Structure 1
Amino acid sequence: MADISDKQEYSGTRFEKADFSDRTIRDVVFEDCTFIRCDFSSAVVQQCRFTDCVFDQCNMSLLAVPETQFSGTEFTGTKMIGIDWTKAYWPTFDFYSQLVFKACILDSNNFFDLRLHESHFESCRIHNADFRQTELNKSVIQDCDLTDTLFMHTNLEGADFTGSHSFYIDVRENKTAKATFSAYEALNLLRVLDIRLAD
């Protein structure tokens, strides 16, 4: 198991069952690194950079990410409650974040006003998250539970919501052109229009 020191660079390093909870990690570059069953709960990763990294079955709840950049990063089976992604570093020239979330718990995450074009959310629980004013066009949001998650002035053009459920999306307040929804769940889009459907 590798440890992490501030102001270092790690490339192709594997971290397994490492406990970084409640710890502050500063100015570290991670490239093509793998984190397996690591604990980052209540940790702070400040001014770090994660490029083409994988987090598998980690606990990242209440992780703080001030000025940290994520690019081409994948999270699988990871618990990620209460993360404020707006505090991370999102360079203006990096048009696509290319983040992938699979079978993750993303409750109470804040994505407000971020550009997350073509991001990937698959089989995730996303309760009470904030996607207001977020650019999610051409993103994949499949088989997700979106209970009480906020969408307002959100760009969902070309997004794929196949299999996702429990969402409330006002088609008058969000961009939904060419977005894909499962037929049954698409009925939720009509609730705000105050119309009745006959069998």
Structure 2
Amino acid sequence: MSENYIAEKTFTKEDFTLRALPKAEYENCKFIGCNLSNADLSGVKFLDCEFVSCNLSLASLTKTTFNEISFNDCKMLGLRFESCNDFGLTFSFNNCKLDHSSFYKLKLKKTTFKNSQLHEVDFSECDLTNASLDNCDLLSATFDRTILEKADFKTAYNYIIDPDQNRIKKAKFSQSGLAGLLTKYDIVISQ
């Protein structure tokens, strides 16, 4: 990868399916309304960047660096975040659609997911300690040997989490969400 460095630049409504995003280190940049679907972001470094109303669906993330990144109103279907460079991996998601994405084995401590759709997302073997899943739809999301200690699920919904297969000590759940912890018992819960 060339050692290009791009700082404090705003990219607005760029279509990177027509012209590839240059391989570079991007710091304090904003991507607004950009199309990065199916883009090869392998080896690209994003530091303190913001993505707003972008489409990153099916982008290749091999060794991509995401450090202090915020995703707002983005479409991010089928992303393999476990392919990213995990050193300094920190991001937040607000009002994003992350269906069919995978965070397999990643350390996502204190990560914030807010008002997001996470259908069929794979959180297997993740560390979601102190993570917040505020008003998130977790329909068919996979939690298998996931660390959920002190995670906040109070306003999350449609999740199924097996307490015997995941570490949930001091995780926060609402009373209405308790059914998602008891699904494996095939019991009927009435209000």
TM tier, smaller: over 0.9
Shift of 1:46: 1.8
| 1:21-75, Cα deviation, whole Å (9 max, x unpaired) | 2654464101111000000011001211111100000011111111111010000
Question: Match of 1:60?
Answer: 56
Q: 2:130 aligns with which of 119, 127, 138?
A: 138
2:83 maps to 1:83: no
2:158 maps to 1:162: no
2:28 maps to 1:32: yes
Tell me, which stretches of 5 or more residues in structure 1 are unaligned?
1-5
Q: Distance in 1 between matches of 2:186 and 2:13?
A: 52
Shift of 1:7: 3.8
Partner-residue secondary structure (3-state), 1:184: helix
Residues 35, 56 of structure 2: 8 Å contact kept: yes
Moved more, 16-25 or 175-184: 16-25
Equivalence map 1:118-129=2 (5 Å)? 118-129=110-121
TM-score (norm 2): 0.93
Tell me, which stretches of 5 or more residues in structure 2 are unaligned?
none
Residues 95, 116 of structure 2: 8 Å contact kept: yes
Residues 179, 189 of structure 2: 8 Å contact kept: no
Q: Distance in 1 between matches of 2:145 and 2:4?
A: 40
TM-score (norm 1): 0.90
Q: 1:174 aligns with which of 147, 166, 169?
A: 166
Aligned residue identity for 2:170: K
Question: Match of 2:4?
Answer: 8
Partner-residue secondary structure (3-state), 2:41: strand
Pair 197,37 (structure 1): closer, same or farther in 2 beyond 3 Å: closer
